Amino acid sequence: MSNRNSNDTPNDATQSHTGRKPDQIAYTVRETSNGKEYWNRIGAMWKHKDGRGSELVLDSIPMDGRITLREQRDQRMQDYQDERSKQQPVNNTRTRDHGYER
């Protein structure tokens, strides 16, 4: 027996996320005895196009059952920082006769 309303179509409830970036990232957060937190990515969540639900895909399940969902913005910021770290640093060493090289 189905729990769907008569207005729902099968495609409304199960939107494909293939090729789309996730709307949120799923993490498990562990706190250590020294107060640090370790965030481990365990999956992702996509909102249905009809706005009536979401699909959560987990690669693993945390032992404590706690899952933290964060907007994709955090991942975009991490991607940006990773790209910047790959760029060659500016050489600010002093040359012999010409001051600082830029």
pLDDT tens per residue across span 9-31: 434 334 456 678 889 999 999 98
Quote the CA–CA distance of 47 and 12 in Å, as a whole number.
Answer: 11
Whether 35 is in a domain gets the answer yes
71-85 pLDDT, tens digit each = 877 666 677 667 777
Q: Is residue 50 part of a domain?
A: yes
Measured between alpha carbons, how far is 24 from 20 in angstroms, rounded to an integer?
Answer: 12
pTM score of the predicted model? 0.55
Residue 32 lies in a domain: yes
Tell me the C-alpha distance between 65 and 63, whole Å.
Answer: 6
Which of the two residues, 8 and 88, has the higher pLDDT score?
A: 88
Q: In Å, what is the CA distance from 9 to each residue of 6, 15, 41?
A: 8, 11, 32
In eight-state DSSP terms, residue 53 is -
In a domain, 85, yes or no: no
Residue 19, domain member (yes or no): yes
Whether 41 is covered by a domain: the verdict is yes
Which residue range(s) make up the domain with 40? 10-72
Number of domains in the chain: 1
Domain membership flag for residue 26 = yes
